Amino acid sequence: MKFKPPIHRSKKGTIFLVSFLSIFALSSVGLAAFVISHNATEQTQGNIAIGEVKDATTHFYNVTLSEHTISFNPKKDDQSGRVRSDGVGDEILTTTLSFDFDHADLLSSITIQLELTDSIRNAIDQGYITLEDQTELETGKVFLVDGPSYTNLDVTHIGSPKREDLAEGKSFVYPIRFGWGSKFNAMNPSQYYDEDPVGKTISDETVASTLNALYHLLPSDGDTATTSMKVNLYANNN
């Protein structure tokens, strides 16, 4: 897909809005794969997809995510203990956004802004899952390019591009990291209920009700209006 962004002008210069959609179908994938007392629930799938991004000032090349599915599944190959995998899907909590861009000398910064669904935000607020840099990502996390001098270049995320045919080219890499929340002591539930001193004392009934609550809290497949998060990418002009 190609998106033609609008151009907004102000006395401070021109801000070129570049956006792409990462379809985070973060459904109850994974929770379905937890086996509690040898009983599994129905499984749904979640996918991530991105499109090509361009604007008149800078082009973005090879925009990719390292993983195309975020899965709240048990740890890989967890086949033992009270809570275990049913063998369908593994935990995938991180996907890394990466791309090259040109004309970095014309930009001051790049901003990533993540629009969470209500379901994902509720799961975070209620302590089931976490999202690293959540506040910054929701309001817009800024990565300095600061061309043409690059005095304040964000070298953690911006560096040398893989492509050699770019004018003032740079690369961009940023991991989007989800995790398990305080309800599970920041552990995968399959570990928490089998290994954590507190988790091991929790009854099977409570384990089942907690995981079922999370299963129903996270969105289901089929309605992209509620199952996907929108990632907006802004190239900010000097």
Q: Where are the domains of the chain?
A: 7-237
Residue 132 pLDDT exceeds 90: yes
What is the share, in percent, of the chain residues with pLDDT greater than 70?
A: 71
Q: Which runs of consecutive H residues, i.e. helices, occur in 12-126?
A: 118-125
55 DSSP β-pair partners: none
Residue 186 pLDDT exceeds 90: yes
Average the pLDDT over each of 46-50, 170-174, 219-223 and give the range with the smallest value.
46-50
Which residues 6+ apart lie within 8 Å of 225 measured at CB?
none
| Position 124 confidence tier, pLDDT thresholds 50, 70, 90 | very high
Q: Which runs of consecutive H residues, i.e. helices, occur in 54-203?
A: 118-125, 134-139, 189-195
Strands, E assignment, the chain: 7-10, 13-19, 34-36, 60-65, 83-85, 94-101, 107-115, 129-131, 141-144, 158-159, 170-180, 230-237
Q: What is the pTM of this model?
A: 0.76
Which of 39-43, 52-56, 107-111, 127-131 has maximum average pLDDT? 127-131
Residue 126 pLDDT exceeds 90: yes
pLDDT in tens, 7-40: 333 333 333 333 333 333 333 333 444 544 333 3
Please provide the average confidence, as pLDDT, over all residues in the chain: 74
Cα–Cα distance, 119 to 187 (Å, whole number):
20
pLDDT in tens, 38-92: 333 333 344 344 433 445 577 888 877 787 677 777 887 788 888 887 777 788 8
The pLDDT value recorded for residue 219 is 57
